[in-house]
Amino acid sequence: MAYTKRTDGRKFDELREMEAKVGIIKSADGSAMFRVGKTIAIAAVRGPRDLYPKFKQDSQKGVLRCNYDLMSFSVTERKRPGPSRRSQEISLVTEKALLPVLELDNFPNAVVDVFITIVQADAGTRCAGINAASLALADAGIPMKDLVCAVATGIINEDKVIVDVNKEEEDLEGGLADTPMAILPRSGEVTLLQMDGEASKEEILESIKLGKRACEQIYRVQRDALKERYGGMKDAAD
């Protein structure tokens, strides 16, 4: 059966409604919330701070550490608290997605910790987490070459590429090649790319192309959130 209409009525290349807010956790050095549709991610940055155990320290530059997890009640079937193989893998790829933009040379021997937690899950949680983390890092004043934008595309029924897959689509029968990716908005470099499902090379390249376009919109939401947070400080007078 051809997928002619998306379950929530969106166009094939249309993202769900997005919202971002910077500076939501007072005690953190940087923090942000990113919502896309019903998926809500929050991220906090702590650091640069002491890194223990000591052998993990790098005397040349700071170390980035990411941790991603779901709140137990964020999903329909309760998630047992504590790390899972899935959350550990996502933590790792999130780290790799963010590292290329970070300038950590000025923080030798220290660590920058990024903690991401999902409050409400409706697919695309790792991408929402990366979007929130990127904002939190900027909020923490960590030097960055660019923000990082992330979205999941899907190749459905081997012919349609859809942008920003929701849970219903993820669970569709007949299979969907789910392709989460992170993109640096200025250079277009891809810093996270995962795929599971089945698709041709052409379909994959097409889906990355659509993902890039979606990231332009995500970037605007991120930029506006940062400017809103610091907007009151715009007109330095007196």
The answer to whether 149 contacts other proteins (rule: CB under 8 A) is: no
Determine the angle formed by the axes of helices 125-139 and 85-98, rounding to 10 degrees: 50
109 versus 194: smaller Cβ distance to other proteins: 109
N-term to C-term CA, the chain: 66
51 and 63 in contact (C-beta within 8 Å)?
yes
Applying the rule CB under 8 A, the residues between 114 and 133 that interact with other proteins are: 115, 117, 119-121
19 versus 159: smaller Cβ distance to other proteins: 19
Q: What angle do CA 188, 193, 198 make, to 5 degrees?
A: 125
Applying the rule CB under 8 A, the residues between 152 and 181 that interact with other proteins are: none
Applying the rule CB under 8 A, the residues between 9 and 68 that interact with other proteins are: 24-30, 38, 40, 42-44, 46-51, 59-60, 67
Specify the residue for token string 């996502």. 90
The answer to whether 82 contacts other proteins (rule: CB under 8 A) is: yes
- Interface with other proteins (CB under 8 A), residue total 71
The Cα–Cα gap between 99 and 144 comes to: 9
Strand partners, 154: 162, 178
Q: Which stretch binds other proteins (CB under 8 A): 5-13, 113-121, 174-182, 205-213?
A: 113-121
To other proteins, the closest distance from the beta carbon of 34 in angstroms equals: 14
The answer to whether 146 contacts other proteins (rule: CB under 8 A) is: yes
To other proteins, the closest distance from the beta carbon of 174 in angstroms equals: 20
Applying the rule CB under 8 A, the residues between 188 and 217 that interact with other proteins are: none
User: What does 132-157 look like in DSSP terms, one character per residue?
Assistant: HHHHHHHHTT--BSS--EEEEEEEET
221 and 18 in contact (C-beta within 8 Å)?
yes
> From the list 75, 172, 190, 193, which residue makes contact with other proteins (rule: CB under 8 A)?
75
143 versus 174: smaller Cβ distance to other proteins: 143
